[in-house]
Amino acid sequence: MSKDNIYDYVITLPETPAFLDNIEIMLDRIVSDGNSPTIKMTRVNHGTEEEPEYEDRNLAHPQPGTKFASGKIMLHFRLNDKYGSSAELITYLRQGMTNPKPPITVQLIRSGFKIVWVSDGVDPEGEPIGHYEYDEIIAGSKSQFLPYMNDVPDGAGGARPPNASDDLYLSGYYDTEPTELI
């Protein structure tokens, strides 16, 4: 697997009983094709070492650092394939679903690693210099994420809802930088 093919995706969707069967189909697809710090799974005692069994794959726990907002949940997951638009990602996620399909809103599509070379010119010897950045197809907007983010410390021992001046990050993956919301 190449770092060039790993992309982070964030979607929002309603947590409504009418969509639960289709959401389960979507979660199965995400788990089989990628991974997610959002989807909580517990290993059960039966199954073999080569093929363990898991349970509790559901939306009972929103993404770490987030909460339910207005009946919706935010999911952050990583896939080994690049989907270059909201429409492509939604088509992928809806494969195998029957009606009613949940309305899915894509909030972010970004490479999991810095893979895009940005030239900073040349050094005194004429050698090219630069740095790497993320391939951001849909940049996450802090204003879109604020309703879903957990309360932050208020400096007086309590907590308050986050605002645009707070430094906020999405849940992260081992060995990668967390996604800062700007």
pLDDT at residue 85 is higher than 60: yes
Return d(Cα 112, Cα 3) in angstroms, integer.
Answer: 7
pLDDT at residue 1 is higher than 60: no
The residue that leads in pLDDT, 138 or 140, is 138
Return d(Cα 31, Cα 34) in angstroms, integer.
Answer: 5
Q: What average pLDDT does the segment 83-105 reach?
A: 94
Decide: 120 and 130 in contact? Cβ < 8 Å. yes
Residue 22: count other Cβ atoms within 10 Å of its Cβ. Answer: 20
**What is this structure's pTM?**
0.76
Give the DSSP per-residue string, 14-27. E--GGGHHHHHHHH
Return d(Cα 179, Cα 144) in angstroms, integer.
Answer: 14
pLDDT at 89: 96
The residue that leads in pLDDT, 38 or 75, is 75
Percent of the chain having pLDDT more than 90?
A: 29
pLDDT at residue 146 is higher than 70: yes
59: Cβ contacts below 8 Å, ≥ 6 apart: 15, 23, 27, 73, 75
1 by Cβ neighbours in 10 Å (0-12 / 13-18 / 19+) ranks as exposed
- Output the average pLDDT for the chain: 80
pLDDT at 129: 94
Q: What is the tens place of the pLDDT at every residue in 23-72? A: 888 888 887 777 665 554 444 455 555 565 544 444 444 555 667 788 88
pLDDT at 144: 87
CA 80 to chain centre: 13
